[in-house]
Structure 1
């Protein structure tokens, strides 16, 4: 996040709750939400009015010359409330509530590149301009959702950009429920087509049914035609050369999940979404692919924490 002026406490120090950001991000249910920190609930600038008088200088005619005048502008507290509202509307999952570029942990060079591409996109984003997005490909647990969430959070809280996060299979499920309520797919896709920046997670996931392909194609086509920016993350490979190195499945015992994972590793995103959508992705996005052996951060964290737990399973640290 961009550096803000530290919100002072009564003793002049920065607030220990929000760290000077003036807002706090929390997990509420299954989504990330934000609120104004207690240190900034009462604005000392506008006294709670939400607007301030600002003195300007302008030249309206050469004869009169420069003149000073006052205009009414939104106070910073009003802008903060709007940005918090934009963040709350993102739909970022609760599991990524505190995702930032600073706390992203990379173990591979490609992950560092992914973070740098996402940061550059976020920090150099110009509101209202059409910008090239990015697509992150890699195994599960490698921080793709983390980077999508960090990007959207920065855009909403620092720039006030209207964005949305969607997990593609949940979008399909939402549209199916909408059919039962008499809604059309277009009614649900419409708002997603219009937000300035949309992040689509788990691209390629699903059964690949005609309904799913038509839904995805319509959503991307609408955004493509309107020149709007879209970000993506997928577990499927972006590398076209993988088709040439496919081999027979290894013999021996494998669990169902192992088998599914092996198939997914060999399957290409272009096969999951079709040539039309894939062609548009090539134009819309910078491609970043994490290697197959990139560690699963969630599994690594679990394995590191396991030795610290008591053998009985009650979570007491060993040696205590």
Structure 2
């Protein structure tokens, strides 16, 4: 009986040992699986980081390439001929484009510096990446150099244009002075012409009156008496009774009478008195001679 008990106890101990051995083995396998998972996750993160950095590099290279194309287009626009012929609005647009590209270059340089710093701190900084970073830096430096040159050209063009504007302003001022002087001289000439015209008009003013003997005596234009020679306008005659006219245009006076006699002094041969429809008409045939002795014409009618 005692032998049986020993045998059973031995079996129990052996089973326990086997169970403990199996548990230890399972724990080791679990630990190994966990470590493999951690390693896989770390590898995945590393690959993701590498891809992200490569994508960042590629994007930067694309941006720098696009920026270079913009600069080349701007170089073509900023030829000497275009700068001299372009409007002020066009030059302002060019200046704004240059400022935008300058700001873009600064930002791209900052991003390249940050990326380079991250790469140097990691184990993913391969020779290929180093070359790409160096190429980006070189391209950005080259772009910055071109932009500085374009800025200098634009400033030089602005100075030239400013100088031209100054000359134009000076010419405009001088022209204004000349125009003012011309206008003053023209005004003076017009005044002189007007005075001359007025003088000529005054020299060609003439006066005539047509009236009966009674009317003419009443206006003191003629003076007569018994056995006394008729005198014309030797006293204080009535000036307003005369009609004012122009010697150059007065060549015909309708007398509205069947009989007429000129009382004032006018050379014979410089006029005629004719009948028209039973009425007398005075026609001045030679105005310069007719008015050379007197500017007043007195005609007595019956």
TM range (shorter): under 0.3
Calculate the TM-score normalised by the size of structure 2.
0.20
State the structure with bigger RCO (CA 8 A, min sep 6), 1 or 2.
1
Calculate the TM-score normalised by the size of structure 1.
0.19
